[in-house]
Structure 1
Amino acid sequence: MLSLLALASSACWGTSDFFAGLRARTMPAAAVVAWSQGMALVLLTVVLSVTGFGGPTGWMVWAVAAGVAGSGALVCFYAALSTGTMGVVAPVASLGVVVPVLLGILTGDQPPVLAWVGMVVAIVGVALASGPELSGGVSPRPLALACVAAVGFGLALFCLDRGARVSLLHTLWGMRATSVSLFLVAGVVLRRAGGVRAADLPALGLIGAGDLVANGLFAYASSHGVVSIASVLGSLYPVVTVLLARVLLQERLRPVQGVGVGISVAGVVVLALARP
């Protein structure tokens, strides 16, 4: 059950990233993140107003750390995607899953041998499914942005897991409140609102909702299970993004991407068979 929730989070993330990447081609990446996160914060505030803001406080530090790492990673990721170098950006950014896996091991995770096999297979599959550039020159800017995004995503996942062990809703709210506050400060200093029009708000709201649901599914799965395994399953989002591009944009899959999708599925099967 927990594995299915982690897989569902990757589906939500992959869908959200696909449409966010399209929006980032027509408006600043920071604006896409800021407005989508802001609308998700409004939704969470309404939910917590009903359920109550009171409760434990141990989630705060983790939520702030997740908000800083996650928002910075998203800006770097969307900015890199908007340059049209998906073949460089996606594989590098997807390797950020190594961060929570290692941190999970260092803090007590003990996956069985079969789970280790499944995780390695799945990570290799994701990198290949992203369509890596195997030849030609690589621009240093998108590569650097992808590396920063990878570390940020990995840290955000780990911090989200730790905060959710105290309170899932409060951690999600604190994460969004942190990222939105950072963007508000940036907007005031730069005196910009990102050029967002009223017509853009519904799409940005859906992107924010997709990211929020993905975070919630992952946080629940990881905090009730093994963070290293949940992180790998949740990080299969590039496979979803690639398949959406194939179906909706008619983008052709490279042979290496087809192989990667198959390897990713094999890794998921192995993980499903593993028993912590």
Structure 2
Amino acid sequence: MLSLLALASSACWGTSDFFAGLRAKSLPAAAVVAWSQGLALVMLTVVLAVHGFGASPGWVPWALAAGVAGSGALVCFYAALSTGTMGVVAPVASLGVLVPVLLGVWTGDQPHTLAWVGMAVAIVGVALASGPELSGSVSARPLLLACVAAVGFGLALFCLDRGARVSLLDTLWGMRATSVSLFLLAGLALRRTGGVRAADLPALGLIGLGDLAANGLFAYASSHGVVSVSSVLGSLYPVVTVLLARFLLGERLRPVQGVGVGVSLVGVAVLALARA
């Protein structure tokens, strides 16, 4: 059950990223992220206004850390994409899943041997599905930014897991409040709103809701199970994005991406056997 929830988080993340990418064709990518997360924060605030915040403040440092790490990772990721080759940047950033896997093991996770095999296969599949550029020179700056983004994404997942062990909803709210505050400060400093119009808000709200659902599903699965395994299953979102682009936009998969999708599914199957 927990594995299915982690896989569902991949589906939500991949779908949200796909439609965010479409929206970013007419709006700055940073504006899409900032506004979608801001609208998600509004929705989550309404939920918590009814539900009430938890009594224990133990989630606060984890939520703050997740918000800072996730926001910093996004900035580095978009900066790397704008100056480097996507076929190099995307696979490197996707390897950020190694961070929560290693931290999970360090803090007590003990995956079965077969689970290790499944995780390794799935991680390789995700990297291949991202469409790696296997030839040509790569400048150091975008590669370094992609590495920083990978670490940031991985830390955000781990901190989200730890905060959710105290309070899931509170951690999600604190993470979003932190990231939105940072984007708001940046917008005020630059005196820009990203060109977002009222007509864009429904789509941005749905994108933010999808991302929020993904975070919630992952946090629940990881905090009630094994964070290393949940992190790998949750990291399969590039496969979902690639498949949506193939079937909805008619984009042709590069051979290496097709191989990556297949390898990822094999990894998921092995993980399912390990959990059975």
Task: Tell me by how many angstroms 1:142 deviates.
Answer: 3.9
The one-letter code matched in structure 2 to 1:25 is K
Separation in 2, partners of 1:79, 1:18? 19
Deviations 1:142-161 (A, max 9, x none): 43332222111100000000
Counterpart of 1:74? 74
The one-letter code matched in structure 2 to 1:137 is S
Q: 1:168 to 1:42 in 2, by over 3 A?
A: same
For residues 1-276 of structure 1, the aligned pairs below 5 Å read 1-81=1-81, 85-275=85-275
Task: Tell me by how many angstroms 1:76 deviates.
Answer: 3.2
Task: Tell me by how many angstroms 1:80 deviates.
Answer: 4.5
The one-letter code matched in structure 2 to 1:171 is T
> Partner of 1:27: helix, strand, or coil?
coil
Note the residue ranges of structure 1 that are not aligned, 5 or more in a row.
Answer: none
Q: 1:139 to 1:245 in 2, by over 3 A?
A: farther
User: Conserved in 2, the CA contact under 8 Å of 1:20 and 1:78?
Assistant: no
Deviates more, 1:140-149 or 1:56-65: 140-149
Separation in 2, partners of 1:126, 1:146? 15
Task: Tell me by how many angstroms 1:183 deviates.
Answer: 1.2
Separation in 1, partners of 2:142, 2:132? 13
Task: Tell me by how many angstroms 1:141 deviates.
Answer: 4.8
Q: 1:202 to 1:247 in 2, by over 3 A?
A: same
Separation in 2, partners of 1:78, 1:209? 21
The alignment of Structure 1 onto Structure 2 pairs a total of residues equal to 276
Note the residue ranges of structure 2 that are not aligned, 5 or more in a row.
Answer: none
The one-letter code matched in structure 1 to 2:217 is L
Separation in 2, partners of 1:113, 1:54? 37
User: Conserved in 1, the CA contact under 8 Å of 2:128 and 2:260?
Assistant: yes
Task: Tell me by how many angstroms 1:84 deviates.
Answer: 8.7
Identity value in percent: 86
Deviates more, 1:228-237 or 1:81-90: 81-90
Deviations 1:92-132 (A, max 9, x none): 11100000000001101010100000000000011111111
Task: Tell me by how many angstroms 1:85 deviates.
Answer: 3.9
Separation in 1, partners of 2:94, 2:62? 22
TM-score (norm 1): 0.95
Deviations 1:48-74 (A, max 9, x none): 011112421100000000001112222
The one-letter code matched in structure 2 to 1:267 is G
Task: Tell me by how many angstroms 1:24 deviates.
Answer: 2.7
What RMSD over aligned residues (CA atoms) do the two structures have, in Å?
1.7
Separation in 1, partners of 2:151, 2:94? 10
The one-letter code matched in structure 2 to 1:6 is A
Deviations 1:133-192 (A, max 9, x none): 111233555433322221111000000000000000000000000011111111122211
Separation in 1, partners of 2:121, 2:9? 19
